[in-house]
Amino acid sequence: MKYALIGCGRISPNHLEAAINNDLEIVGLCDLVLEHITQLLEKLEIKNPEFKQYINYHEMLQEQKPELVAIATESGEHAKIALDCLEAGCHVIIEKPIALSLEDADKIIAKAKEKGLVVCANHQNRFNKSIQRIRKAVEDGDFGKMMYGTAHIRWNRGPDYYKQAPWRGTWAQDGGALMNQCIHNIDLLRWMMGDEVSEVCAYTDNLNHDFIEAEDLGLAIVKFKNGSYGMIEGTTNIYPKNLEETLYLFGQKGTVKAGGKSVNIIEEWCFEKAQENAEEVKQKNSEMPKNVYGFGHTPLYKNVIEAIKTHTKPLVDGEAGRRALELVLAIYKSAAEGKPVKLPLDKCSTMDFVGRFKV
Ligand SMILES: NC(=O)c1ccc[n+]([C@@H]2O[C@H](COP(=O)([O-])OP(=O)(O)OC[C@H]3O[C@@H](n4cnc5c(N)ncnc54)[C@H](O)[C@@H]3O)[C@@H](O)[C@H]2O)c1
């Protein structure tokens, strides 16, 4: 399957590695800055590549006609590039968040449907061994009635991270801690708790990053339609480095905690109906990745390739990407309006919050 990548920055090595690990035929890499492609190739020790390098993705799509394109540019560019790729007949993997407005997410989903193409939102943590095992317990009904779940993202991002790429932390291209760093765990919480949210009540603030436009702290309570609750606590303020990304699920008959730097380790596993030894489950389903991006890109790509071949939906389809985006935007809206917000939301964009914090 012919594959191309648009955007060769910080997260791009995970994409190119995933393409290589899945035996995709790489036909082109594209970045506005050719030097970024060179750095990516150096990082992966790829010498004399056979594929071409482009600064214009339209040219690459036209010349190479890739079947699958991954989009890893700044978030504010995702929707436009995804719509162009879909129009050109390519299946797409779009880095999270799928877009920065619900209107754009809806356009992507509609265009893919019209063209019969696969869209995947790149929430790779769904493929962590820990998360896959927990999801199985949810699907098997092992928790009994789910009561509540909590997502904690206690990370650190300092001035250097934002200086590297000035689009980060802006409303037009990114959003803040919740939209960029915390959206993975927000997606997991929503997925595990039954997807359907009725109401959100939240606070957001910028306490320690006066050089970015958006929030560095978000605290939210989520009411799910099935009567359960969620709590989200996300920040990039933790001194002096990333502390944890943790997901707790509390059911009437089960308690689980996935922790580590990015929910890669099962730290608590306790069920009334214990089919397996808890220590074995913890050991078999815990991993120590070298960074918070984890090992998820390769199995996510495998899942997308399978979906394309079998004309089915990938695990993290466009609608799943939209649900994660909707929940973050609902948190922003509740915090900005100072009152609970009902879901579903039809329209909302990061641009609705321009000027919310002092820069
Ligand atoms: N899944 C994850 O864990 C994860 C981790 C980090 C970043 N991300 C997401 O990946 C995306 C990229 O983040 P990053 O940190 O790698 O950013 P980055 O700034 O390091 O890289 C983005 C690259 O895209 C290029 N680019 C921008 N517009 C382009 C265009 N029109 N055509 C071709 N190239 C273009 C830029 O020149 C840059 O090299 C963001 O949406 C971010 O939220 C996801």
Task: Show me where the domains of the chain are located.
Answer: 2-125+297-317, 127-290+323-353
Q: How far apart are CA 178 and CA 208, in angstroms?
A: 15
Strand order in the sheet with 119-122: 52-54, 25-30, 2-6, 68-71, 91-95, 119-122
What local confidence, expressed as pLDDT, does residue 129 receive?
97
Does ligand 1 lie within 6 Å of residue 335's CB atom?
Answer: no
Does ligand 1 lie within 6 Å of residue 245's CB atom?
Answer: no
- 54 close to 92: Cβ distance less than 8 angstroms: no
Q: Please report, as a single letter, which amino acid is at residue 68.
A: L
- 102 close to 345: Cβ distance less than 8 angstroms: yes
Between the two ends of the chain, the Cα-to-Cα distance in Å is: 46
Residue 306 makes CB contacts below 8 A (sequence gap 6+) with: 312, 314
- Give one word for 165, left, alpha or beta, with left for phi > 0 and alpha for psi -120 to 50: beta
Kindly give the number of the ligand 1 atom that is closest to the alpha carbon of 124.
1
With respect to CATH, is domain 2-125+297-317 assigned 3.40.50.720?
Answer: yes
Does ligand 1 lie within 6 Å of residue 54's CB atom?
Answer: no
Superfamily designation of domain 127-290+323-353: Dihydrodipicolinate Reductase; domain 2 (3.30.360.10)
Kindly give the number of the ligand 1 atom that is closest to the alpha carbon of 77.
28
Kindly give the number of the ligand 1 atom that is closest to the alpha carbon of 293.
3
What local confidence, expressed as pLDDT, does residue 130 receive?
97
Low-confidence stretches of the chain (pLDDT < 70) are none
Does ligand 1 lie within 6 Å of residue 100's CB atom?
Answer: no
Is residue 288 classed exposed, middle or buried when 0-12, 13-18 and 19+ CB atoms within 10 A define those classes? exposed
Pocket test for ligand 1, best of 95, 123, 300 (most atoms within 8 A of CB): 95
What local confidence, expressed as pLDDT, does residue 261 receive?
84
